[in-house]
């Protein structure tokens, strides 16, 4: 690798009310039955040989490229959610909290910052993985440096419309592959994927990569987010299968 709509789903990037439909979806994926997308569309699985190669290949850190229990899809799936305003002209990002220089950024300002192109894999808690997904955006670490994050900060809270939040450890949020992303596969980010801007935290389950991103808040104490307070794992490491708390 290089560098209130129903039914609910934790990777949607927006809050929902829990339901048994989501649980049934996860259970069906676990036992290898057909994987059906929310809204009735069928997930397109990659071929067996491709999945076998992914299981046998390794990341630079030695972990298998395909985390345990995951299955390959051929395209990134829009997992639903209540979208924020998709207009780049209306978008604002608030960077605040345990920082010395809080600021707000518009879309033009985001594009003026150093842009990073990277290819990475993403992993959904419902057991699908998309390999070699291409992204462009700005590193969260660069935004943190501009805000002058205080030594008291320990976690990052990604904020999105309707009160959605996702918590990530500071050390992981500042990893070089964690982005505020505005392009996917060489195109502007599509509305179902969080347009105009979403978080991208590829080494955690995808619900941590909040869609329709509006804020990055640095905090001294951990503050579990929407799904974390509703039974999902606080950390969400795919290689440890940290799906539920």
CA distance 37 to 176: 31
* Closest-CA residue to 80 (of 13, 163, 129): 13
Name the residue among 116, 118, 120, 80 with its Cα closest to residue 202. 120
Rounded to whole angstroms, the maximal C-alpha distance in the chain is 51
96 within some domain: yes
pTM: 0.83
Instruction: Sort strands 71-72 and 128-139 into parallel, antiparallel or unpaired.
Output: parallel
Q: Which of these, 31, 28, 6, lies nearest to 19 by C-alpha position?
A: 6
| pLDDT > 90? residue 176 | yes
The dihedral region occupied by 97, where left means phi > 0, alpha psi between -120 and 50, and beta the remainder, is: left
Q: Which are the contacts of 37, defined by CB distance < 8 A and separation ≥ 6? A: 43, 77
Residue 1, in any domain of the structure: no
| Residue 131 forms part of a structural domain | yes
53-107 confidence digits (pLDDT tens) = 888 899 999 999 999 999 998 777 766 656 778 889 999 999 999 999 999 999 9
Neighbours of 207 (CB within 10 A): 26
pLDDT of 141 above 70: yes
Query: What CATH number is given to the structural domain containing 85?
Result: 3.90.420.10
Ordered DSSP codes for 117-140:
EEEEEEE-TTSEEEEEEEEEEEEH
Answer whether residue 5 is part of any domain: no
Look at residue 245 and tell me if it is in a domain.
no
Number of domains in the chain: 1
Examine residue 4 and state whether it is found in any structural domain, yes or no: no
Domain assignment of residue 45, given as a range: 10-240
* Interval 18-46: pLDDT, tens: 333 444 444 444 434 344 343 334 556 67
Selection from 218, 223, 221 nearest residue 102 by Cα: 218
Sign, CA torsion 98/101/102/105: negative
Length of the chain: 245
Write down the pLDDT at residue 73. 85
């Amino acid at each position: 690798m290089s560098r209130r709509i129903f039914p609910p789903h934790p990777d949607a990037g927006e809050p929902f009310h829990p339901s048994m439909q989501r649980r049934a979806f996860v259970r069906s994926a676990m036992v290898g039955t057909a994987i059906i997308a929310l809204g009735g569309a069928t997930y397109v699985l990659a071929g067996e040989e491709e999945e076998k190669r992914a299981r046998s290949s390794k990341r630079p850190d030695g972990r298998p490229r395909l985390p345990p229990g995951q299955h390959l899809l051929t395209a990134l799936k829009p997992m639903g959610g209540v979208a924020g305003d998709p207009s780049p002209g209306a978008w604002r990002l608030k960077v605040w909290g345990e920082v010395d220089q809080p600021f707000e950024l518009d879309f033009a300002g985001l594009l003026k910052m150093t842009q990073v192109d990277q290819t990475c894999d993403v992993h959904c808690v419902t057991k699908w993985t998309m390999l070699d997904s291409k992204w462009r955006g700005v590193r969260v670490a660069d935004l943190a440096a501009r805000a002058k994050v205080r030594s008291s900060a320990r976690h990052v809270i990604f904020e999105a419309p309707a009160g959605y939040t996702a918590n990530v450890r500071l050390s992981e949020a500042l990893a070089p592959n964690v982005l505020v992303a505005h392009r996917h596969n060489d195109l502007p980010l599509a509305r179902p994927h969080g347009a105009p801007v979403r978080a991208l935290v590829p080494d955690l389950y995808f619900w941590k990569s909040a869609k329709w991103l509006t804020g990055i808040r640095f905090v001294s104490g951990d503050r579990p987010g929407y799904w974390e307070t509703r039974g999902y794992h606080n950390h969400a490491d795919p290689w440890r299968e940290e799906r539920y708390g």
